[in-house]
């Protein structure tokens, strides 16, 4: 930690010398200047701008201590002041206190009292530095969180090292009808209310967690991304309450995503993308009303379809689709039927979304919109929905078949063949036909290590082999094993082997 930098301003030579010796002997203090009057001190400080404490006498020739304090403040000095005074200087002391000096010390100076005061100021400085470092780190973390939305490259996972280890919970708060609210309200009032949401959000989060354990950021212009470092796996209930609180106290309506527990922070980008998709998949019940308007047979068929995708049991799928086609094809209620089938499809897709690759879920969501178009005839509509449902079932069956022990082996082979590339979680998970979050949990369950740890281990093994067997430069080795940043590669290599790449090569030759 940095020492406390002290400037001494005292016109009496003996006292000045004594103060310098005393402060120099202090274990946490450095004397950055010794001056005989205020003008000398001003000139010296303006040259270096290096001082945390100005220890000054009040009465001095040329420029006294009070004038010095006022001049330093005007010049931009923001540090602390300690004022030396005699018993007959009470009026000056009052003025000094009005100038918000930290303390005053009577002459003759009590050494222990001065040492104690300097230690307090040193501890204050350390606390301020910690706070500044913490605030800077928080801003860097937030910058990273905004930047990684939608990215999950394993080639440069340095960003995870900016955060403490442990379990995380991620969630998103979506503002309903954001653009409609913006268009129909006075813009000044709109932004005031949005600022109110942010203030309440900060207050509520601070009541639950320390400032270093939660992060929020405005995401995609209509939602707040939330990340919490917590051991509470049931944080979703807290965020649901938070959404209700914000909705009750502002004119915005907010809903919370289900959220996900992250044992490994590198899963955050995939988790956020999954949450965005799940919010799109929320059924719009208001559009279709109740299914009670349909026959009992239709209701049973819809229940069978939903159960099939919720439990991934498709034995009764064919009979339910055949029955549904007979019941709906002759109703001549295209709009109601389209809304009903779209809502049913969304619910089914929602239930399987965390098992399927993100690209497949997005693709099926787009296809559902086309297959439940109100421009189709009743017969075409029901047939298109049946085709869509069978396609979704086949995707789920394929996913189930892939979800066995061989999925891990196939993933390992894929990783081994792409160590030099910027591998992403989505790429590896897509190769074995799994949702990224589901795949990472599955991989760790079967290997007792994270995907990132496995990739890093394989890259470092290849790097060691190249360092031992070739004369390639460290930068070339770094690129050959998928690290474009040589400094980061060196850091990771030394962390895992105890040697820098160059040192490792020398020990093996």
Tell me, what CATH number does 177's domain have?
Answer: 3.30.70.270
The reply to whether 479 falls in a domain is yes
Tens of pLDDT, residues 316-350: 889 989 988 888 877 677 888 888 888 888 888 88
The reply to whether 180 falls in a domain is yes
Q: Which residue, chain included where needed, has tokens 């082999």?
A: 465
Q: Which of 262, 296, 320 is the last residue of a domain?
A: 262
Could you tell me the maximum CA-CA distance found in the chain, to the nearest angstrom? Answer: 108
Same domain, 210 and 120: no
Give residue 256's pLDDT band: very low, low, confident or very high (50, 70, 90). Answer: confident
Q: What local confidence, expressed as pLDDT, does residue 228 receive? A: 92
Same domain, 255 and 369: no
What are residue 34's phi and psi, to 5 degrees? -130, 120
Q: What local confidence, expressed as pLDDT, does residue 286 receive? A: 38
Same domain, 9 and 120: yes
Q: What local confidence, expressed as pLDDT, does residue 201 receive? A: 92
CB contact at 8 A, 115 and 107? no
| Distance from chain centroid for Cα 6 | 39
Q: What local confidence, expressed as pLDDT, does residue 392 receive? A: 92
Same domain, 416 and 395: no
The boundaries of the domain holding residue 76 are 4-126
CB contact at 8 A, 3 and 29? yes
Mean pLDDT of 82-105: 64
What are residue 480's phi and psi, to 5 degrees? -65, -20
Q: Which residue, chain included where needed, has tokens 């089914």?
A: 348
Rounded to the nearest 10 degrees, what angle do helices 378-402 and 317-328 cross at?
Answer: 170
Q: Per the omega criterion (within 30 degrees of 0), is the bond before 108 cis?
A: yes
Same domain, 175 and 116: no
Q: What local confidence, expressed as pLDDT, does residue 443 receive? A: 85
Mean pLDDT of 430-444: 80
Using the 8-state DSSP alphabet, how is residue 162 labeled? G
The reply to whether 308 falls in a domain is yes
Q: Is 223 helix (H, G, I), strand (E, B) or coil?
A: strand
Mean pLDDT of 343-367: 83
Give residue 451's pLDDT band: very low, low, confident or very high (50, 70, 90). Answer: confident
Same domain, 328 and 244: no
Q: Percent of the chain, pLDDT > 90?
A: 17
What are residue 102's phi and psi, to 5 degrees? -75, -35
Mean pLDDT of 404-423: 84
Nearest of 80, 77, 76 to residue 56 by alpha carbon = 80
CB contact at 8 A, 141 and 162? yes
The reply to whether 138 falls in a domain is no
Q: What local confidence, expressed as pLDDT, does residue 288 receive? A: 41
Question: What is the C-alpha to C-alpha distance for residues 304 and 348, in angstroms, rounded to an integer?
Answer: 11
The reply to whether 375 falls in a domain is yes
Q: Specify burial of residue 478 (Cβ count, 10 A radius: 0-12, 13-18, 19+).
A: buried
Tens of pLDDT, residues 120-174: 889 988 988 888 888 888 888 888 888 776 555 554 556 777 888 888 888 888 8
Q: Which of 230, 247, 262 is the last residue of a domain?
A: 262
Question: What is the C-alpha to C-alpha distance for residues 52 and 165, in angstroms, rounded to an integer?
Answer: 35
The reply to whether 109 falls in a domain is yes
Question: What is the C-alpha to C-alpha distance for residues 496 and 487, in angstroms, rounded to an integer?
Answer: 14
> How many C-beta atoms surround the C-beta of residue 90 within 10 A?
10
Mean pLDDT of 379-388: 89
The reply to whether 105 falls in a domain is yes
The residues near 301 (Cβ < 8 Å, ≥ 6 apart) are 320, 321, 323, 324, 327
Check whether 103 has a pLDDT greater than 70: no
CB contact at 8 A, 404 and 439? no
Same domain, 440 and 502: yes
Q: Which of 402, 433, 450 is the last residue of a domain?
A: 402
Check whether 478 has a pLDDT greater than 60: yes
CATH code where residue 110 lies: 3.40.50.2300
Nearest of 390, 399, 387 to residue 360 by alpha carbon = 399
Mean model confidence pLDDT for the chain: 83
Q: Which residue, chain included where needed, has tokens 């942010």?
A: 198
Number of domains in the chain: 4
Same domain, 425 and 394: no
Tens of pLDDT, residues 257-315: 877 888 778 778 777 777 777 776 665 433 444 555 677 888 888 888 888 888 788 88
Q: Which residues pair with 254 in a beta bridge?
A: 175
Q: Which of 131-140, 398-407, 461-470, 474-483 has the lowest mean pLDDT?
A: 398-407
Question: What is the C-alpha to C-alpha distance for residues 450 and 455, in angstroms, rounded to an integer?
Answer: 9
CB contact at 8 A, 168 and 497? no
Question: What is the C-alpha to C-alpha distance for residues 346 and 359, in angstroms, rounded to an integer?
Answer: 16
Same domain, 327 and 435: no
What are residue 417's phi and psi, to 5 degrees? -85, -5
Check whether 17 has a pLDDT greater than 50: yes
Tens of pLDDT, residues 198-255: 999 999 999 989 888 999 988 766 788 899 998 776 777 888 899 999 999 988 889 8
Same domain, 93 and 9: yes
Question: What is the C-alpha to C-alpha distance for residues 262 and 438, in angstroms, rounded to an integer?
Answer: 11
Pair of tokens at residue 395: 């995707």
The reply to whether 134 falls in a domain is no
């Amino acid at each position: 930690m940095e020492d406390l930098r002290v400037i001494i301003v005292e016109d009496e030579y003996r006292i000045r010398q004594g103060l310098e010796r005393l402060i120099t002997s202090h274990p946490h203090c450095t004397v950055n200047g010794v001056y005989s009057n205020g003008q000398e001190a001003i000139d010296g400080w303006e040259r270096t701008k290096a001082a945390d404490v100005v220890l000054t006498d009040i009465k001095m020739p040329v420029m006294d201590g009070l004038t010095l304090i006022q001049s330093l403040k005007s010049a931009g000095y923001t540090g602390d002041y300690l004022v030396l005074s005699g018993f007959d200087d009470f009026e000056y002391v009052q003025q000094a206190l009005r100038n918000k000096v930290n303390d005053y010390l009577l002459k003759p100076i009590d050494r222990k009292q001065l040492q104690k005061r300097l230690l307090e100021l040193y501890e204050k400085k350390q606390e301020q530095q910690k706070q500044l470092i913490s605030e800077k780190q928080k801003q860097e973390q937030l910058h990273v969180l905004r930047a990684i939305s939608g990215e999950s490259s394993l080639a440069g996972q340095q960003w995870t090292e900016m955060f403490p280890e442990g379990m995380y919970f991620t969630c998103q708060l979506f503002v309903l009808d954001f653009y409609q609210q913006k268009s129909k309200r006075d813009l000044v009032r709109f932004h005031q209310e949005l600022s109110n949401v942010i203030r309440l959000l900060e207050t509520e989060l601070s009541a639950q967690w320390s400032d270093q354990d939660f992060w929020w950021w405005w995401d995609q212009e209509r939602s707040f991304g939330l990340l919490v470092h917590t051991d509470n796996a049931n944080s979703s209930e807290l965020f649901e309450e938070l959404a209700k609180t914000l909705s009750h106290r502002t004119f915005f309506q907010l809903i919370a995503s289900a959220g996900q527990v992250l044992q490994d922070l590198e899963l955050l980008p995939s988790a956020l993308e999954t949450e965005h998709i799940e919010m799109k998949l929320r059924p719009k019940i208001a559009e279709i009303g109740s299914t009670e308007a349909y026959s009992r047979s239709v209701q049973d068929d819809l229940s069978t379809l939903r159960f099939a995708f919720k439990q991934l049991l498709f034995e009764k799928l064919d009979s339910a689709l055949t029955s549904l086609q007979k019941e709906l094809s002759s109703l001549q209620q295209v709009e109601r039927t389209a809304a009903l089938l779209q809502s049913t499809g969304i619910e089914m897709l929602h239930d399987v979304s965390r098992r399927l690759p993100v690209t497949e879920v997005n693709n099926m969501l787009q296809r559902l919109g086309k297959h439940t178009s109100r421009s189709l005839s009743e017969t075409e509509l029901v047939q298109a929905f049946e085709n869509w449902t069978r396609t979704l079932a086949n995707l789920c069956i394929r996913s189930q078949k892939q979800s066995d022990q061989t999925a891990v082996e196939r993933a390992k082979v894929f990783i081994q063949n792409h160590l030099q590339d910027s591998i992403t979680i989505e790429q590896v998970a897509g190769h074995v036909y799994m949702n990224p979050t589901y795949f990472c949990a599955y991989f760790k369950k079967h290997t007792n290590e994270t995907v990132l740890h496995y990739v890093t281990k394989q890259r470092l093994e290849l790097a060691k082999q190249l360092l031992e067997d070739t004369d390639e430069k460290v930068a070339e080795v770094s690129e050959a094993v998928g690290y474009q940043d040589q400094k980061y590669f060196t850091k990771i290599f030394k962390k895992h082997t105890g040697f820098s790449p160059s040192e490792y090569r020398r020990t093996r030759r």
